[in-house]
Amino acid sequence: MSRYEAVIGLEVHVELKTDTKIFCGCSTEFGKEPNTQVCPVCLGLPGSTGVLNKKVVELATRAGLALNCEIGTYTWFDRKNYYYPDLPKGYQISQVFRPIAYNGYLDIDVDGEKKRINITRAHIEEDPGKLVHSGGSITSSRYSYVDYNRSGMPLIEIVSEPDIRSGAEAKAYLEKLKAHLEYAGVSDVKMEQGSLRCDANVSVRPVGTTTLGTKTEIKNMNSFRAVQRAIEYEVERQIDVLEDGGKVVQETRGWDENKGITVSMRNKENPDYRCFIEHELPPIELTEEWIEEVRASIPELPDARRRRLVEEHGLPDYDAGVITSSLALAEFFDAALKEFPDAKTVSNWIMGELLRLLNARNMELGESRITPGGLASLLQLIKKGTISNKIGKEVFEVMFEEGKDPEQIVKERGLSQISDQGQLAQIIDEVIAKNPKSVADYQSGKKQAIGFLVGQVMKATRGQANPGVVNSMLREKLGE
């Protein structure tokens, strides 16, 4: 056991799913030509004043409620003043003094242990623009371009308490957070499109002490796995520094995915943002009734859905946890279950084949061509014995890639299971003739030798032979 423990807090920026920006009517669509979705307001041109998009308040409230937060009935915006070329007004409009949501939590499971991660606050803010460096990185570029399409995109920043103790917990928390926000319908939560971004504050301290060590802030992590790896690396690095008698420097560090290390970005000398109230926007006033209406409109959240899968469908808790980790997966499960009402079988296929293929190809469920109905038909074919479980996996892969109906695939590729004894007899005779040693072994009492012979028959039929039928025919022929 290490003599040190890690203390980790996460700051997660999530882009809210609105059609227009937070203070103007510009489109929020992703991936458009630079600076084509801008206007005087989001460019901060002199004299332009913005007006708050009401949808942002609604989505932020939904998000806060989905994270078990209290919602403030009287909140306002503040300015955070700092200079950066992508920040058009020289200040960022945020909620510094009174966040719309606060005092929330999420429960996570790591290695079967449940733990509560507290959420300090979730506040609304605007995104600045984005720098595009002429030569790949900021240090190697002679000049940089600024794209203000992102300027004024509505965000919520979710700040956790420093309750996280490991990279694995951080990853579990992020997965839970993502699922809750996705279920609540507030964001696309796509890390690769920048609609979910995470920074980690990491420090270590000797086990048994309560004062916080010097922390570093890690940025540039592009996947949940990267967050876990970066934190694990950084914790080890800080422990090494302390073990060598050194001091951890408070700084911002970037995660280098290729090298698997964190690197110093710049020293952070406690910037003074000189925050003060934003007078150009009136305060946000919400009534308790309105907040309750929003609460009532939030669909079943992951934990409740997980309980339902266990209680109503008898799924093991672990399976239910995996299935409900994403809304898409949970809905896929429900839809497939309607047509093939065997929860454990459906869950096995989702957790086995479906997730294996998605992970292997680094895809989202929506990007594959498999449908819940398709999976249900496939499971019917297996149940009827038309194909074997093994062939089923092959068919599943074709369905995943091409989206075809399983029956059609089976027909086109001639994959139906062969149970006809007449068809199998000749092949079995050939296998017996070719493998006298195994036959002798079997007949001398090594009963497990039959497995090899069955395998040879399966091979000869490219897996189509019904293994049960082959087994009993072999036993008969070998004089059982």
Partner 1 sequence: MQLNTLSVHHLSELMGKKEVSSEELTRFYLEHISRVEDKIKAFVTLTKEEALARARAVDERRARGEELSPLAGIPTAAGDNICTRGVKTTCASQILYNFIPPYDATVAGRLKGAGAILVGKCNMDEFAMGSSTENSGYFATSNPFDFDAVPGGSGGGAAAAVAAGEAAFALGTDAGGGIRQPAAFCGVIGFKPTYGYASRFGLISHVSSLGQIGVFTRDMTDLALILNEICGHDDKDATSASVDVPDFRKSLVNDVKGLRIGLPGEYFGTDVSPRVAAKVREAIVKLEELGAVCEEVAMPHIEYAPAAHYIISSAEASSNLARFDGIRHGLRVEAEDVLTMFKKTRGQGFGEEVKRRIMLGTFALSAGNYEAYYVKALKVRTLVKQDFDRAFEKFDCLLTPTSPATPFKIGEKAGDPVAMYLSKVYTMPANLAGVPAMSLPFGLVEGLPVGLQLMARHFDEGTLLRVGYTLEQSTDQTRLKPGLLL
Contact residues: Zn ion, CB under 5 A: 24, 26, 39, 41-42
Task: Provide, rounded to whole angstroms, the least separation between the CB of residue 253 and Zn ion.
Answer: 34
Cβ-based nearer residue to Zn ion, 22 or 96: 22
Residue from 31, 46, 112, 136 binding partner 1 (CB under 8 A): 46
Q: How far is the CB of 247 from partner 1 (least distance, A)?
A: 24
Which of 110, 265, 281, 478 touches partner 1 (CB under 8 A)? 281
Is 135 an interacting residue with respect to partner 1 (CB under 8 A)?
no
Phi, then psi, of 336 in degrees rounded to 5: -65, -40
- Number of H helices and E strands in the chain, helices first, is 16, 16
Contact between 50 and partner 1 (CB under 8 A)?
A: yes
Q: Is 282 in the site for partner 1 (CB under 8 A)?
A: yes
Q: Which of 81, 250, 348, 368 binds partner 1 (CB under 8 A)?
A: 81
CB of 58 to Zn ion, least distance (A): 20
In the bound state with partner 1, the residue whose beta carbon lies nearer, of 286 and 478, is 286
Backbone angles phi, psi at 454, to 5 degrees: -60, -45
Using alpha carbons, select from 404, 420, 422, 401 the residue that is nearest to residue 412.
404
> Which range touches partner 1 (CB under 8 A), out of 273-281, 284-292, 382-390, 471-479?
273-281
Task: Give 214-264 as a DSSP string.
Answer: --EEEE---SHHHHHHHHHHHHHHHHHHHHTT--PPPEEEEEETTTTEEEE
Residues 52-71 that bind partner 1 (CB under 8 A): 52
Contact 140, 116 (CB under 8 A): no
Residue entry with tokens 């020289």: 90
Give which of partner 1, Zn ion, none residue 91 binds (C-beta under 5 to 8 Å, depending on kind): partner 1
Residue of 47, 112, 136, 422 interacting with partner 1 (CB under 8 A): 47
- Whole-angstrom distance, CA of residue 5 vs CA of residue 20: 44
Residue 193 CB, nearest approach to Zn ion (Å): 20
Give the span between the Cα atoms of 86 and 127, in whole angstroms: 10
Report the nearest approach of partner 1 to the CB of residue 380 (Å).
58
160-to-164, 372, 461 alpha-carbon distances in Å: 9, 36, 57
Residues 428, 470: contact at Cβ < 8 Å?
yes
Minimum CB distance to partner 1, residue 148 (Å): 8
Residue 49 interacting with partner 1 (CB under 8 A): yes
Task: Select from Zn ion, partner 1, none the partner in contact with residue 4, using the beta carbon and a kind-dependent cut-off of 5 to 8 Å.
Answer: none
Beta bridge partners of 130: 147
What does the alpha-carbon distance between residue 94 and residue 81 come to, in Å, rounded to a whole number? Answer: 10
- What's the DSSP call for residue 389? H
Closest to 417 measured CA to CA, from 395, 449, 434, 450: 395
Maximum distance among all Cα pairs of the chain, rounded to whole angstroms: 97
276 binds partner 1 (CB under 8 A): yes
Give 50 or 374: the residue with its C-beta nearer to partner 1: 50
Query: If binding is defined by CB under 8 A, does position 132 make contact with partner 1?
Result: no
Q: Whole-number minimum distance, CB 50 to Zn ion, in Å?
A: 8
Q: Report the residue number, 147 or 234, with the smaller CB distance to partner 1.
A: 147
Interface residue with partner 1, options 11, 13, 30, 48 (CB under 8 A): 48
- Contact present, 15 and 153 (Cβ < 8 Å): yes
> Rounded to the nearest whole angstrom, what is the least distance from the CB of residue 43 to Zn ion in the complex?
7
Among 32, 54, 225, 274, binds partner 1 (CB under 8 A): 274
d(CA 333, CA 338): 9
Give me the residues that bind partner 1 (CB under 8 A), please: 40, 43-52, 79, 81, 83, 85, 88-91, 146, 272, 274-276, 279-282
